[in-house]
Structure formats: C-alpha cells, structure tokens
Structure 1
C-alpha cells in the first residue's frame, strides 16, 4: 500500500532511494505527525480530567505539541542526513569507479602489447611486468565489482536471460578451474545428480556466481583438501552446491557473511587480499534471477554454499 500526499508517493520515493521506511525522512515525517496528534489529544484528555480550567488544558497541549515537534524534527532530520550521506557515498563510488576503469584498461592493453614482444623484453623485466599485469587485473576486477554493486543498489542491473543447460554449464565452468585446483593441490570433484536441467538465466551473471563460489572454495581450502560441486533438482528448481574442506566460517561471523565489504576474521588471517563484495554480489545476482542462496559452515571443518534457480516450466514438471 502506498501513501500519497498532493501527488507525492512517499513509499515509492523511499524505495526509489533504497532507504528502509523506518529510516526514510518523508515517511518518518508522516509518522511523527501522527504521533504529535495522538500526543496532543492524549494530553488534552488527561488535562481535562485533572483541571476544569481551559487555560491549563491549552497550555498543557501547547507544551506537549512543542516538545513532540522538536523531538520529531530532530529524529527526522537525523535520519534524513544519514540517508543523504548514504546516497552521496553510492554516487561517489559509482563516479570514481567509472573514472578508474578507462585508465586501468589502457594500462592492461599496453602491458599486453609489451609482453607480446617477449623477445625484446629481458627475463627479469618480463617477470616484473607480469606482476604489474596481475595487480592491474585485480584492480579492474575491484572496479567492476563496485560498478555492479552500484547498479544493483540503483536497480539498474541489466539481465539478458536465456535457456541454459544447467548441469552442462556448471560442468564446463568447473573444467576451467581444474588447472588451478591441481596447482593448489586441491581435489576438485563434480557430481551431476540430475541431468538435462534447463534454467532461464543470464549466462554471464550465472557464470560469475558459479566462478565466485568455486574461487572462494579453492582459495580457502588448504593443500590436500577437497572441493566438490553437485548439481541436483529440488522441486521446481535447479540447485548447485559447492562444498569445501576449508577453514569454515566462525559462528559469530555467519550472520554478516552476505554483507557488503565483510570478511570473516579467519579469512582475513589466511588471505589479506579480497574486497568482501563477492558474496554480496552472489546473493544479489541470484535473487535478481529469481533464485535463492544459502550456506552451512563449521569453523575448521569447511563450508557448503548453494544457490537455486527456477527451472523452465517443462523441466520443473519433470517433462
């Protein structure tokens, strides 16, 4: 239900600015108005019971009205400042990210041109250039993640959904990670418990989600450990589970795991690099495609992250 005053749709305005209703200035202004009216009526009623003098009633109601007005205005103003600060921060991140992407991309192309001339570059310098290229790619990934967060928060995320053969798609993604798993000394397993599943999803976003969960599992699993990926059918949805025997997530950190910029304490100790944006984006992108995300974890034992996507109608009916 929306609230309209003079053509102003308050709830829609708050949602457009991605502000919860109870911290949204216009909505709080209406609520505080109701509180003021209720407070004045209550004060008047109580004053009438204890005094027959109209002047006492009027003074009591006036004092209460002034008090509630001052308090209400302070509350609304405080929340409005917080909302404005959040909006400005999001705009700043978006602008800076856009400005950074072009020079970073230019650096990458220049490095690739130099490295292609391998016979003209001394061995020692080539190693240095590869290191620079790797750090440049990390910066580009960070900028892309920040831009994606900005698009999600502004409801500007663009999806290009198409039928995707779920089990085949996931298996192909895993094959690309086999060299990394081998290099890390981690056993990478794939099990398709259901075949021929088709989901309607943005293939690029689905690839990013799957790669991010798989990358996290490999990153936080020590040499000799195991990462397994399962694809199965769960009712009218296809489900992917990525399980690892890694460090796990402390119980105290689990409620924050899908929050922007959050990283668990043991993850920070193990690997300093990372932005804490990956799982926030995973959850947001899957939700945008109509699915769900969850996990189970024990510290020191490992984690299992999963996500589901709706199957195309015929698949969901088992046809």
Structure 2
C-alpha cells in the first residue's frame, strides 16, 4: 500500500469524509486518560473494576476492528454501529467509575455528536436509544436504586445530551443540504464556464471564417472589373456598386450610393437604362415608373438571350452602351432582400459579329463570281458531248454538281448575312400558304419513298392567305421537311400541318424520328451547328438549313420554335403574322 492510499484509508475517503477509526480515537484516548486520573489523582472512585476494564478493552478492540473493516465496500449506514457500541462501552466505564455520580459521563458526548452528524434523523434515534441504555441500564439491572435521588440528574443530563444530538443532526443536515446545493451550483458554474469557453472558441472560429469569407468576397468583388456588378434592394435602390460598374458607366461609388448609403446619385437601377430598349417608354422617350422598370429588368436578366446585346445603358457622359444583362435574386434565408445585376459590355461582341457577317458577305460575293464562271465554262464543255469520252463526261458532271453545291452554299451564306444586316431582299405578295406547304410535301415525296418514310399534308378547308415572299417561305418549309426526312428512320412518318393561331399563319412539321437532345435544342438555329445525334448517325449536312429557315421567318417578323423527345420525334413550328398587301 502506498503512502497516498494509506493516508486515504486511515484519514479521509475520496469524498473527504473522516475514517471511523479517526473519529473513534478521541473517545478511546479520553477513556485511557481517565485511568491515571483515577489511580494517580483519585479523581472519582472505582466501583466495578470489571466494567471499567471491559470498557477500555472493548473500545481498544473496537478501534482495531474499525481499522480492519473495508468500509468502502459497505453501505454508509453501517458506520453507525461504531458510535453506538462506543456509547454502550462508555456506559460500562461509567458503571465501573461511580455509576450515576461518575465524572466521566461527559465522554459520552463524543460518540453521540458523531452519530448525530451522520446523514438521516434515524441516527439521532439510534443515539438516544444507546444513551438510554447507557444511563438507565444500571437502574434496569438493579445495580442502582431508583430512589437514590440521582435519577433526576441522570434523566436531565440524558435529555440535554439528546437535545444536543438533535440540534447537531439538524445543523449538519442543513449544512449537508447547503453543501450539496453549493456543489450543484459549482458544477453548474463549471458547466456554464465550459459552455462559455466553447462558445468563445466557436465565436472566434466563426469570426475568423467570416473574416476569411469577407476577404474572399472582397477580392472577387474587386477583381470583377470586366463586368458591372450592381446590387439593389427589393425596390431597385442601388446598395452595391462594383469596380466594373465604375469603369463601364463612369459613375463613382460615392456618386451612386454616397457615404454610408446616406445619399444616392441614382435612386434606382432603372435610372441607368434607356427606357425604349426595354419597351417601356413613350414616343418622347419618357422614363417609365420604377415600379415598371424593375420587373422588366429582372425579366430580361433571367431570359435566355439576356437582352441579346440590344439593351442600352447610359454612361455618365450620356453615351448609350449596348449590354447583356444577368439578374439573380438576393435572399437572406427564405426572405428576398433584393437583386444582383451583372451588366456586360456588348460592343466588342457586336463588333465581332458585324465583322464576321461582313467577312461572310464579302467572301460570298467574291466566291459567287468565279463559281458562276466555272459553271459557265463547264456548260460550254458539256455542249461538246461528241468530243468527250464517257469518263470525261462523268468527271465534268461531278465538277458541275460540286460547283452548284458551292454556289448554293455561297447563296445561303449571303442570304443569312443579308438577314442579319437587315438588308434581306423580300418580294412580298399575296400568297396562299396552303398551296406552298402542299408543294413542299409533293416535292419531298421521291426522297421520302426511297427512305421508307410516309409524308402527310394537312391543310385547312379555305386558302390561308398572307403577304409574304412565296419563294422564301417555300424555302423555309422545304428545309424543315427535308430535315425531317433525313432524321426519320424507315417506317416513320412526317406530318405537315397548316393553320392559324392568334393572327398568325402557322406551319408545323412533325416527325417520328430520332429526336433532339435538350442541350442541342437552343443551338439548332446557329450557323454550322450539328447536333450530337446527327454527328453520331453520320447524317449529311453542313448545319445551315435551320439557320436559313429562322432567318426567313425572322425577316417576316415571325417566330420559329421546336420541341423534341429523344427516340420519339420532333416538331418544328413557324408562325408568320397575317398581313394583307
């Protein structure tokens, strides 16, 4: 056993309580000290030596037993046995040293107080019972006479000692409850301190993360100088003005949101845009109310084309700049708090598009002349058939077909360039759309029969007349029908339907072909675009047919749209306003 464990065994336990042997030791010492007082100084008399020595030996044996008992393994109430036996032993010592008149009766207070300090009021009951046995035992067994006059003093002393025991028990009970409460409060305080420390660490970590996030957001915000980022509240009032906005529009941040937002040069994001480009201004270009401008800006910013570069903003110098617009709603939790607008300068892209179209137009013109010359000479050569061999005729025929294909391609490119430049030549006249659609269906029949595809044309009972270019409208329908045949496997069908819808003449071409993937639908009308399905199936084409069709429909102020399901088929729809010449 180590020094530490020995000290804990004979001193105090883990809860700080004194060992029973320590508490019994003062009682034993007082009894032992009483012996010299009796023998050397004559303090009292020895009436029953056997009882006196039995008390001394009993207390000594009890002290030794107390040291040997493993109290940690026993219930705490078992410790009450020690003071009860000590009280009985002192009763014997009292009998042996004068009985009722013994001066050593006061020693009994020590085990009584010890017993009273143990938890539970029953300990007081045990103590009083042992006290009665000790003080009145001699009277019960006849060692003393009930009429010797000492009975009154004995009873009074016993009552006083019992009262002391009750007081001590109640005091220790209150002290124990208070200590328990203090311990509970101490634990709660420790828990609160621990929670506070944990909260402090979490707060410090959150503050650090917030600082890093703020620095990251600030670096992104300051780096976005190629795009104008404008942040607004729910009413459209500007609350954030990025560096790119300063570069594009020329307004300083202070001019827009002031110092700490106290003054704004521009009350609303709508003040920056030219109203006529939003379709909200009157003939005199008057500004529409903000309540109308903000929803329109949000609508344009969320549209696919994002304004198509035709939306105009006005700089601090009054310059009107074409832009693309993107809009996203700002939220805090589930609550909308405003919008973030991203404005991109469209001047560079528009210039690139203009130069590209100009290049295509120029190349088309430059190619058309030599191709026409080549075809002319090929025709002259073919007129001398008698002088040509069969191989020569075949070679010239191949050259002529390819030259015609190139000439047709040049014509298509030139036509698209003219459309995008707003210079498309249309020969408008009153036409019957039904007869044009019927002619397209008849023209494709030989090709459809070879492909194993059926073609059906559905026409209204009455002619459907409109003011349009018959050749171009027919070309657009031919392109749609031709595409449908190419992308429909053998055994499939194609339906060409003509009708009216909301003042528009409508032609739909529906097939049961392989369909178009969703990602490709938005790009179908781009020049030279080939869908993934066409590429995988190695279907011939250069990707201009739908571009030309859309260009023709757009030139007639109409619209073209498509819906498709992969593996089930596709439907193209063109709608042209009905206007009489």
Counting only pairs closer than 5 Å after superposition, residues 255-274 of structure 1 correspond to structure 2 as: 255-271=522-538, 273-274=540-541
Name which of 250, 265, 268 aligns with 1:33.
250
CA drift at 1:273: 4.1
- Secondary structure in 2 matching 1:34: coil
What does the per-residue CA deviation read over 1:269-312, in whole Å, with 9 as the maximum and x for residues that have no partner? 33464332221221222122132211211122221112122234
CA drift at 1:149: 1.8
Cα distance in 2 for partners of 1:237, 1:102 equals 39
Residues 142 and 275, structure 1, Cα contact 8 Å, conserved in 2? no
Cα distance in 1 for partners of 2:558, 2:373 equals 36
Ranked by relative contact order (alpha carbons within 8 Å, sequence separation 6 or more), the top structure is 1
What does the per-residue CA deviation read over 1:188-247, in whole Å, with 9 as the maximum and x for residues that have no partner? 221213431101101121121111111111222233332221112324222111122222
- Secondary structure in 2 matching 1:261: coil
User: Residue in 1 aligned with 2:405?
Assistant: 138
Residues 217 and 227, structure 1, Cα contact 8 Å, conserved in 2? yes
Cα distance in 2 for partners of 1:235, 1:78 equals 37
Name which of 221, 238, 247 aligns with 2:514.
247
Q: TM-score if structure 1 supplies the norm length? A: 0.71
What does the per-residue CA deviation read over 1:38-96, in whole Å, with 9 as the maximum and x for residues that have no partner? 368448979xxxxxxxxxxxxxxxxxxxxxxxxxxxxx998655444333222222211
Change (3 A) 1:291 1:79: closer
Corresponding pairs, count = 260
Change (3 A) 1:110 1:36: farther
- Secondary structure in 2 matching 1:256: coil
Residues 516 and 565, structure 2, Cα contact 8 Å, conserved in 1? yes
Cα distance in 2 for partners of 1:190, 1:44 equals 65
What does the per-residue CA deviation read over 1:236-270, in whole Å, with 9 as the maximum and x for residues that have no partner? 22211112222211112112112232221111233
Cα distance in 1 for partners of 2:572, 2:430 equals 23
Residues 430 and 580, structure 2, Cα contact 8 Å, conserved in 1? no
Name which of 446, 458, 472 aligns with 1:205.
472
Counting only pairs closer than 5 Å after superposition, residues 81-120 of structure 1 correspond to structure 2 as: 81-120=348-387
Change (3 A) 1:109 1:164: same
Q: Which moved more, 1:31-40 or 1:193-202?
A: 31-40
Cα distance in 1 for partners of 2:515, 2:579 equals 34
CA drift at 1:113: 3.5
User: Residue in 2 aligned with 1:230?
Assistant: 497
User: Residue in 2 aligned with 1:304?
Assistant: 571
Residues 167 and 194, structure 1, Cα contact 8 Å, conserved in 2? no
What does the per-residue CA deviation read over 1:100-123, in whole Å, with 9 as the maximum and x for residues that have no partner? 011112222333333354444333
Cα distance in 2 for partners of 1:301, 1:77 equals 39
Cα distance in 2 for partners of 1:313, 1:81 equals 40
- Secondary structure in 1 matching 2:522: helix
Name which of 448, 451, 454 aligns with 1:187.
454
Name which of 378, 403, 423 aligns with 1:156.
423
Name which of 549, 552, 555 aligns with 1:285.
552
